[in-house]
A and B are shown apart, each in its own frame.
Chain A
């Protein structure tokens, strides 16, 4: 799907990705009084990345709740709150701190609709900043989208632009099923773009063609879109035309968008900063060879993080995929 362009007449404001999520949260809370925000430091502090800034003042402590420092409690209590009729939006401060909540997410949140044969769907959103590139201490750089995507019952959404972030957080909140909403913190404030001031929702499960091309398809998401686009510009100068697809949703994958591009072009490179082993790239490569085999001109390439622990900041630039590595992978598909 090509992104809906903001109409000229529409009123817009220039926002960062973090601000866009904030606007989306505020507008959904205004629209629906059952939406509540809960997590560590989400109140007076406005979240460590300021994504919930101003919400406490606007909606009060019954709808913006600073919780004890306990991730399992945040997600586990959200189960009960959802059954009681609320739509909890939980913030996990960093993806690297979600592990204590995995039991609640995997054993309950993902299964509740199924276990209760549809009686108790859980409209819960769990937001978490993910990914590397901000030079933090250990446990602040993880990308574990594959864990969540591998768990039946969850949806996994990762925006890469402010406009998408605002529309997708709205959809995540309105969704009747649990959504893991992973925010690329490396680009929380990397750039601003014009975002409609009106509330709007973008569909979950639809990828976006960021840039059309003829010679190779680069599939990426989150902070890697920026890397993919840098590679695309360099390649353009070398006379190689790359099509860049932003998945936006990891589960359910918009596999048709990838397949259409693969059938048109025949060369696919997948980019993510999560480890390669059993990752999103592997799933895409498998689906593409399964469904577009005869269109392929080269094996699907993957440019990923290493299958190693995310390094401390002094080496992190070497861990994260770079435009050079993406270009190398593209050349490999062209030279096959």
Chain B
């Protein structure tokens, strides 16, 4: 019996900007000046939002915060490709894409300050609440994508978010497999920031990339430079076009880097070398895009100052609004458990009501 090749696989990686912001002209997306600067503004807004949360945390005005610093290109490059009817199934490091989708900053702050009301997103914003157990939300995205398909939607898709650590979980496998079998309308959007708290990517898997796993599920996938917003834009557009067409899920891996601690409860100096951080600081997604815009004569210091003023003012106003909100009634602890309170919660509610402020 002959030996035959029954499957051959290759996995693509896309980069457009080099580390100094110089573009590969042949790969540049056809975007207007406004769209180009729009991507930059979106990232700057995310960073200011994130920096403010870290500052608030240091002052005791914020709970545990998982910073998105360094991952803004992933989230902005995706966000501008999304339609209003698309759904998000976020993990806990998706603040950037969330605030780009009509969720007020004050609500994301509220969640991490420890107030569930932050999760009651405005009507018309299709976003599931933040899921903390890693990879578990990918199954929600697979199910949502199947639901959209069964409803006969021909535009809307579900985007499931996860990181490199999550790719080791069983639910990662179950979700990609389930989505593949049912051709669900799901984009699996993986931000590989190379650290799962203290464990580096090479200890999560012997595979070189996460993207190559797509072959094992019979779905397409690719890797993109996650610190290059133009590359993410192009890759996300391509991935979403595939999913929107009804041909099933897509696995998009954005290779990026977590510039901050895992969360404010972590100290990355215990396990991470400074030179690695320096290497990635040189590849900062915002600096790279700014260099590209400046060299393209689309950006200057005046615009930069105006932008920073604008986003700072927005962030400050949102902080003010979120801090002005009094705590929820104590009875909220039991009031959202069931549509109708069972007798024991009715009794327990009376205890809470007495402690109401």
A contact residues vs B (CB 8 Å cutoff) = 36, 62, 65, 67-68, 70, 72-73, 75-86, 100, 103-104, 107-108, 112-121, 152-153, 155, 175-177, 205, 251-252, 255-256
A73 touches B177 (CB 8 A): yes
Scan residues 314-337 of chain B and give those whose CB is less than 8 A from a CB of chain A. Answer: 332, 336-337
Query: Residue among B138, B139, B175 with the most chain A CB within 10 A?
Result: B139
A77 touches B178 (CB 8 A): yes
Q: Closest A residue to B115 by CB, please name it.
A: A117
Chain A residue contacts of B84, Cβ below 8 A: none
Contact (A77, B119) CB under 8 Å given A70-B178, A100-B170:
no
Pick from B144, B181, B343, B344: contact of A83, CB under 8 Å: B144
Chain B residue contacts of A176, Cβ below 8 A: 339
Chain A residue contacts of B140, Cβ below 8 A: 76-77, 79-80, 83, 108
Q: Does B62 contact A (CB under 8 A)?
A: no
Q: Closest A residue to B173 by CB, please name it.
A: A70
Query: Residue among A75, A115, A118 with the most chain B CB within 10 A?
Result: A115
B121 touches A119 (CB 8 A): yes
B302 CB to nearest A CB, Å: 43
Scan residues 130-160 of chain B and give those whose CB is less than 8 A from a CB of chain A. Answer: 131, 133, 136, 138-148, 150-151, 158
B339 touches A121 (CB 8 A): yes
B342 touches A85 (CB 8 A): no
A72 touches B147 (CB 8 A): no
B252 CB to nearest A CB, Å: 19
B136 touches A104 (CB 8 A): yes
Q: Does B117 contact A (CB under 8 A)?
A: yes
B171 touches A81 (CB 8 A): no
A80 touches B146 (CB 8 A): yes
Chain B residue contacts of A115, Cβ below 8 A: 116, 119, 129
In the complex, A176→B340 CA distance in Å?
9
A252 touches B174 (CB 8 A): no
Q: Closest B residue to A251 by CB, please name it.
A: B342
In the complex, A323→B142 CA distance in Å?
48
Pick from A36, A68, A108, A205: contact of B131, CB under 8 Å: A108
Contact (A120, B128) CB under 8 Å given A114-B336, A255-B343:
yes
Chain B residue contacts of A107, Cβ below 8 A: 131, 133, 136
Pick from B119, B170, B177: contact of A68, CB under 8 Å: B177
Chain A residue contacts of B342, Cβ below 8 A: 205, 251-252
Q: Does B279 contact A (CB under 8 A)?
A: no
B contact residues vs A (CB 8 Å cutoff) = 87, 89, 116-117, 119-121, 128-129, 131, 133, 136, 138-148, 150-151, 158, 170-171, 174-175, 177-178, 181-182, 332, 336-339, 342-344
- Secondary structure at chain B's binding surface: helix, strand, loop or mixed? helix
In the complex, A176→B119 CA distance in Å?
20
B336 touches A81 (CB 8 A): no
A113 CB to nearest B CB, Å: 6
Contact (A72, B170) CB under 8 Å given A114-B116, A119-B121, A177-B338:
yes
Chain A residue contacts of B142, Cβ below 8 A: 73, 76-77, 80
B337 touches A76 (CB 8 A): no
A130 CB to nearest B CB, Å: 22
B120 touches A116 (CB 8 A): yes
Pick from A78, A117, A256: contact of B143, CB under 8 Å: A78
In the complex, A100→B128 CA distance in Å?
22
Enumerate 5 A-B pairs (CB-CB under 8 Å) in ascending A order. A80-B141, A85-B147, A86-B150, A116-B120, A255-B343
In the complex, A305→B84 CA distance in Å?
54
Chain A residue contacts of B158, Cβ below 8 A: 80
Contact (A70, B89) CB under 8 Å given A76-B171, A80-B140, A84-B151:
no
Contact (A76, B119) CB under 8 Å given A81-B144, A153-B338, A177-B339:
no
Contact (A113, B338) CB under 8 Å given A80-B158, A85-B151:
yes
A117 touches B117 (CB 8 A): yes
Chain B residue contacts of A116, Cβ below 8 A: 119-121, 128-129
A79 touches B139 (CB 8 A): yes
Chain B residue contacts of A80, Cβ below 8 A: 89, 139-147, 158
Contact (A77, B139) CB under 8 Å given A68-B181, A72-B170, A116-B120:
yes
Contact (A73, B133) CB under 8 Å given A81-B143, A85-B151:
no
In the complex, A65→B181 CA distance in Å?
11
In the complex, A256→B342 CA distance in Å?
12
A16 CB to nearest B CB, Å: 31
B128 touches A83 (CB 8 A): yes
Query: Residue among A36, A72, A104, A121 with the most chain B CB within 10 A?
Result: A72
B338 touches A79 (CB 8 A): no
Chain B residue contacts of A114, Cβ below 8 A: 116, 336-337
Pick from A68, A118, A121, A152: contact of B178, CB under 8 Å: A68
